[in-house]
Structure 1
Amino acid sequence: MLLSTVYAVTRRLLSLPALLFRSDVSKEAELLVLRHENAVLRRQVPRVRYEPADRLWLAAHLLGVTANPTGEWTTQVARNFLMDTDLTNIKFLIRDRAGQFTDAFDTVFADAGLRVLRSPPQAPKANAHCERIIGTLRRELLDRTLILNERHLHRILTRYLEHYNTARPHRGLGQLSPSQAETGQPSPVDLASHRVHRRPILGGLVNEYQIAS
């Protein structure tokens, strides 16, 4: 065990000079491979324009919280998701290559008639919507909150995602929330004639604003 650890550390240290002094030709070759992988993914998933009703599917859903996301746990989460979701307008699932997404996980969606697409290695832009909401969660919630345990994490994520889907304005949706995108632009309100009520969410970490009755 000790020898294998020493070997792994030594190999990692010896690889550092190779990374620092890698030739431009080698770097360009890696870029060409990455561009090829992105091109393959684009051919598999044609670029589409999202209508407001389609954008509703970009709303965030919390499927579970665990400190050990094993393949068995992730597969069960997939089953739970399909039990509670209307698949009428869903055609495929895009996922990364993390180890917890096993063949059993893919089979759950394949049996439901969905096509499973794996993003290219080390290409986060291929699944940009997922990466964007992960960044939003970190900036607006997780970097500003001390997480006590799994139960606490589940509770604050549930509350924040409710705010994210129903009240938080999204620039990509014309300053609407995902739930408002389906019903359309709300009627303008003259704020000079109304009082505005501020409702703090998650102890004031974020706020929602409504016309006071």
Structure 2
Amino acid sequence: MNATLGMKVAPSTVWEILTQEGIDPSPDRMSLTWADFLRSQADALLAGDFIETITLNGQRQYILAVIEHASRRIRVLGTTAHPTAAWVTQAIRNLVMDLEEAGCRARFLIHDRDGKFPAPTEELLADVGIQTVLTGIRMPRMNAVMERWVQSCRRELLDQCLLRNERPLRRALREYAEFSNRHRAHQALDQAAPLRAVPDPITDPAGIADLKVRRRDRLGGVPHEYSHAA
């Protein structure tokens, strides 16, 4: 506009005006940090990872799990002693069908550069519009939401329960995923669970005084579920 009017403005004047208004220079405004990407695309983000554990029979097991960033819903895709390309590809194929059935419109799947993720899984995901995003080398914070669930799973399940072999491990993982999705409160969800809304607050003092709570122990009493007694 100034050029059209025949006016010349010094760069220092432009800089001063932008500074006064709290506007960053154009390159800074256009840059997108990883945290900004995660926040802006949360509804379209999935994250996955392999978890290693050893059962009582001395066998190393590899657990594959995927979490939705927005809802924090966890899906344990399976566990195996031999994570072959065929096994992982079938697990991802099952995930795709589950996402379609649930109406989840994911566009990105974040995971690390683990060689257990074969190339066919990337092609399989691309066919349904999901782009694979690889984290940086030795940068677990790029997959922080998934890593946080892995930490909880280790602390509350894998490090606490004695699991003889693959069958009880699968059963325990199913139960822990159910606990995570339907009962575990998440700060990111304002204390709701992925598949459970926050109940209405009790405002009646008499209701608080007569409150009766029932506790249910899961997986040998490591995680607990609390609900109103009938």
TM score, norm. by length of structure 2: 0.67
Aligned length: 170
Q: 1:163-203, CA deviations, whole angstroms, 9 ceiling, x for partnerless residues?
A: 111111112222221113xx4x3112343223211111112
- Report the AA paired with residue 70 of structure 1: T
Deviation at 1:88, TM superposition (A): 4.6
The whole-number CA distance in structure 1 between the counterparts of 2:38 and 2:152 is: 26
* SS of match in other structure, 1:178: coil
The whole-number CA distance in structure 2 between the counterparts of 1:46 and 1:212 is: 39
The whole-number CA distance in structure 2 between the counterparts of 1:150 and 1:54 is: 28
- Counterpart position of 1:208: 225
Deviation at 1:46, TM superposition (A): 5.8
Which of the pair is proportionally richer in helix?
Answer: 1
Q: 1:22-69, CA deviations, whole angstroms, 9 ceiling, x for partnerless residues?
A: xxxxxxxxxxxxxxxxx9983994642758x9722x211111110111
* SS of match in other structure, 2:34: helix
The whole-number CA distance in structure 2 between the counterparts of 1:96 and 1:162 is: 25
* SS of match in other structure, 2:99: coil
Query: Higher Cα Rg: structure 1 or 2?
Result: 2
The whole-number CA distance in structure 2 between the counterparts of 1:147 and 1:46 is: 35
Contact 1:41 1:119 in 2 (8 A): no
* SS of match in other structure, 1:203: helix
Shift of the 74–197 alpha-carbon distance from structure 1 to 2, 3 Å rule, reads same
- Report the AA paired with residue 187 of structure 1: D
- Counterpart position of 1:42: 34
Question: Is the aligned partner of 1:55 residue 2:70?
Answer: yes
Which of the pair is proportionally richer in strand?
Answer: 2
Deviation at 1:89, TM superposition (A): 2.3
- Counterpart position of 2:180: 164
Task: Compare 109-118 and 200-209 and name the one that shifted more.
Answer: 200-209
Contact 1:147 1:153 in 2 (8 A): yes
- Counterpart position of 1:101: 117
Contact 1:71 1:99 in 2 (8 A): no
Gaps of 5+ in 1: 1-38
The whole-number CA distance in structure 1 between the counterparts of 2:151 and 2:91 is: 22
- Identical aligned pairs, as a percentage? 36
* SS of match in other structure, 1:69: coil
Which of 138, 144, 147 aligns to 1:131? It is 147
TM score, norm. by length of structure 1: 0.72
